[in-house]
C-alpha cells in the first residue's frame, strides 16, 4: 500500500508534548501540517517551540536555517478545529480521556471528507472503543508515537476491530516514509511495547522485594551483563513512578487481573511517598545535589589458584564463555556427558558451575546430588559482558565461593553474589520478556518480527526478546519458565502456549 503523498495535508489535534512532536515529524517529511489546539494560542506556542528545538540543531551544524524556515513555513497553527477540514489524515494527541476523544472524532467526521484517515496517538485507550460511535469506524486507527516523537523511531500502527487493512497499511507506509520504524498491532491493552515491557520492571521489582540484591546492583547487571541501555530502577526513576505504576495498573486491570501484570507494592509505596523519581528528586535513587549514586555490590579481588576447567556436555550458549576462559589462560578440558538436556556443567575441582535454568541453586543441588554448586546468570554476550551474577547452593563452602569469584574475575568480570534466587537476574528478565512477546504473538497482537522490532526501536532493547529466546533454544526457555513457575507456585511464570508448542515442535519464532 502506498504512503500518503507529501501533497496530502496532515492535521494534528493537541499541541502538547506529543502533538507538537508529531506535527514536526510530518512537516519535516514535507507535508503541510495544520496544528490545532483548543487552548487559544497553544498551537502557535507549539510551533514556536518546534522552531526553538530545530534552531538548536542549526547551532550544532545538523541543519541549516533554510531547512528550519521551510519546515516552519509548512506548519500552520489553528485555534479552531474547522481548519482541519481539508486534511487527508488527522492525528489526535489530546488529553487521555475516552469521552473527549470520542467527541473530537465525531466532530472530525462531520467536518472532514469521508475518506480522511483518522488516527489517535492514545497510549492506553482502546481504538475499537474510540471508533465505536463513528459512522465510518473502518478509517480510524491508532498511530502510537513515542516521546519525544521526533527522536523516537517506533510507531505502532494499531488496528481496532473495524479498521481496514488498507487504512492500517497506508498509515504503516506513511510512517515509514516519515523515517519511522512502523509495526502493526491490534488494539489490545498496552499494544506491543507497553505490554511486552512490563516484565522488565516487574521482575526487577520482585528481585528487589525478595532481597535478591539492591537496586544499583540489579541495574548494573542488566546493563553490563544483559546489554540493556538502562536498568529497570534507573529507567522507572526516569519515566516517573506515577506514570509507570499507572500503566502497569491499567494493563493489569485490562487483562482482568492476570497475575503476570500484577503491580508491585514496592512501587506503590514510592508513589504514596511522592518519590516519583527524577522529577521529584527522589525515587529508587536520590537526585538531590551532592547525593552520591549508590554503587553496585561487587566482590573484592580474590586471588586463587585455578584448577583446569572441566566442561561436561554441550556448551551451547556458553561456548563464548569457555573461549574467554581459555584466552584468560585457564586450561579448558572437554569431557563427554551422559546428560542429554543440552546443559553443560563446568567443574573447578569439586565445584560445579552451571548456567541457571530457573531453579534456585539449593533445589538444583538437591535434585542433581551436588554439594558445591554455583549458578551463573545469562549474558547477552559472554565474550564482552563486564559483570555477572552468581548464586550458590546452601552447601557450597566459603572456599568454593572464593574459587567461583576468582574464576569470573580472571575473565575480567565484576562478580556479584545474589541470594539464592530462581532464574537470577538477566535470565529471568529475558525469559519473561520473551514469554510476554510470545503470548502477544499467540493472541494475534503482532507478528514475531514486529514484536521484536517494537522492543528494539521503542525501548532500545539490545535484542528482540523472541530472537533472543530462539538463540537460547526454546526448550531451555520453556524449561526455565516452568522451573520459575514451580519455584514460586505462581501462574505468573506459566509458559506461553506458543512458546511451549514451538519448543516441542522445534520451531523458532524467526526463520
Ligand atoms: P499534553 O497534555 O502535553 O498535551 C495535550 C494537548 O491537547 C494540550 O495542549 C491541550 O490543550 C490539548 N487539548 C486537550 N483537549 C483538547 C481538545 N478537546 N481539542 C483540542 N486540543 C485539546 O499531552 P501529551 O503528553 O502530548 O499526550 C497526548 C496524547 O498522547 C495522549 O493521548 C497520551 O496518552 C498520548 N501519548 C503520550 C505520550 C507521552 O509520553 N506524553 C507518549 C505516547 C502517547
SS (H, E, C) 21-55: HHHHHHHHCCCCEEEECCCCCHHHHHHHHHHHHHH
Average pLDDT score over the chain: 96
> Does ligand 1 lie within 6 Å of residue 12's CB atom?
no
Whole-number percent of the chain with pLDDT over 70: 99
Tell me the pTM.
0.95
User: Which listed residue (36, 92, 120, 144) is catalytic?
Assistant: 144
> Does ligand 1 lie within 6 Å of residue 73's CB atom?
no
Half-sphere exposure of residue 92: CA atoms within 13 angstroms, side-chain side = 30
Model confidence band, residue 340 (pLDDT cutoffs 50, 70, 90) = low
Model confidence band, residue 54 (pLDDT cutoffs 50, 70, 90) = very high
- Say what the pLDDT of residue 339 is: 62
Q: Above 90 in pLDDT, residue 338?
A: no
Residue 254 CB neighbour total at 10 angstroms: 16
Q: What single-letter DSSP state applies at residue 318?
A: G
> Does ligand 1 lie within 6 Å of residue 19's CB atom?
yes
Query: Has 55 been annotated as catalytic?
Result: no
CA distance 321 to 189: 40
> Does ligand 1 lie within 6 Å of residue 294's CB atom?
no
Query: Has 123 been annotated as catalytic?
Result: yes
Q: Above 90 in pLDDT, residue 266?
A: yes
From the CA of 32, how far away is ligand 1's center (Å)?
21
Model confidence band, residue 337 (pLDDT cutoffs 50, 70, 90) = confident
- Ligand 1 atom 40: the closest Cα is on which residue? 147
- Say what the pLDDT of residue 311 is: 96
Amino acid at each position: 500500500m502506498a504512503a500518503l503523498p507529501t501533497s496530502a495535508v496532515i492535521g494534528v489535534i493537541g499541541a502538547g508534548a506529543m502533538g507538537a512532536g508529531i506535527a514536526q515529524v510530518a512537516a519535516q517529511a514535507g507535508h503541510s501540517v495544520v496544528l490545532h489546539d483548543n487552548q487559544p494560542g497553544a498551537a502557535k506556542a507549539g510551533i514556536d517551540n518546534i522552531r526553538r528545538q530545530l534552531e538548536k540543531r542549526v547551532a550544532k551544524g545538523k541543519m541549516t536555517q533554510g531547512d528550519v524556515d521551510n519546515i516552519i513555513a509548512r506548519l500552520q497553527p489553528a485555534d479552531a478545529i474547522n481548519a482541519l477540514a481539508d486534511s487527508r489524515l488527522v492525528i489526535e494527541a489530546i488529553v487521555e480521556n475516552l469521552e473527549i476523544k470520542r467527541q473530537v472524532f465525531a466532530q472530525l467526521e462531520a467536518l472532514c471528507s469521508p475518506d480522511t484517515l483518522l488516527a489517535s496517538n492514545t497510549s492506553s485507550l482502546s481504538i475499537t472503543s474510540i471508533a465505536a460511535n463513528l459512522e465510518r469506524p473502518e478509517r480510524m486507527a491508532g498511530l502510537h508515537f513515542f516521546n519525544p516523537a521526533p527522536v523516537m523511531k517506533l510507531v505502532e500502527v494499531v488496528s481496532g476491530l473495524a479498521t481496514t487493512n488498507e487504512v492500517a497499511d497506508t498509515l504503516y507506509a506513511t510512517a515509514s516514509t516519515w523515517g519511522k520504524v512502523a509495526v502493526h498491532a491490534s488494539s489490545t491493552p498496552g499494544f506491543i511495547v507497553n505490554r511486552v515491557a512490563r516484565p522488565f520492571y516487574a521482575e526487577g521489582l520482585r528481585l528487589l522485594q525478595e532481597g535478591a540484591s539492591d537496586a544499583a546492583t540489579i541495574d548494573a547487571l542488566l546493563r553490563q551483563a544483559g546489554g540493556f541501555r538502562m536498568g529497570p530502577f534507573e529507567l522507572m526513576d526516569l519515566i516517573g513512578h506515577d506514570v509507570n505504576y499507572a500503566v502497569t495498573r491499567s494493563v493489569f486491570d485490562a487483562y482482568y487481573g492476570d497475575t503476570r501484570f500484577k503491580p508491585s507494592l514496592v512501587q506503590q509505596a514510592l508513589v504514596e511517598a511522592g518519590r516519583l523519581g527524577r522529577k521529584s528528586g527522589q525515587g529508587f535513587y536520590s537526585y538531590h545535589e551532592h547525593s552520591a549514586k549508590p554503587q553496585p555490590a561487587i566482590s573484592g579481588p580474590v586471588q586463587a589458584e585455578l584448577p583446569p576447567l572441566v566442561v561436561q556436555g554441550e556448551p551451547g550458549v556458553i561456548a563464548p564463555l569457555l573461549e574467554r576462559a581459555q584466552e584468560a589462560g585457564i586450561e579448558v578440558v572437554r569431557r563427554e556427558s551422559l546428560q542429554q538436556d543440552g546443559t553443560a556443567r563446568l567443574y573447578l575441582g569439586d565445584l560445579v558451575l552451571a548456567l541457571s535454568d530457573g531453579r534456585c541453586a539449593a533445589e538444583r543441588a538437591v535434585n542433581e546430588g551436588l554439594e558445591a554448586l554455583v549458578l551463573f546468570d545469562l549474558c547477552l554476550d559472554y565474550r564482552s559482558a563486564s559483570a555477572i551474577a552468581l548464586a550458590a547452593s546452601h552447601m557450597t563452602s566459603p572456599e568454593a565461593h572464593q574459587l567461583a569469584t576468582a574464576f569470573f574475575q580472571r575473565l575480567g568480570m565484576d562478580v556479584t553474589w545474589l541470594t539464592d534466587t530462581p532464574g537470577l537476574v538477566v535470565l529471568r528478565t529475558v525469559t519473561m520478556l520473551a514469554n510476554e512477546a510470545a503470548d502477544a504473538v499467540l493472541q494475534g497482537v503482532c507478528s514475531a518480527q514486529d514484536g521484536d522490532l517494537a522492543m528494539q526501536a521503542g525501548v532500545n532493547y539490545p535484542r528482540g526478546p523472541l530472537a533472543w529466546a530462539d538463540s537460547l533454544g526454546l526448550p531451555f526457555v520453556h524449561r526455565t519458565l516452568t522451573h520459575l513457575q514451580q519455584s514460586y507456585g505462581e501462574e505468573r511464570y506459566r509458559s506461553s502456549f506458543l512458546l511451549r508448542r514451538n519448543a516441542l515442535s522445534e520451531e523458532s519464532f524467526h526463520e
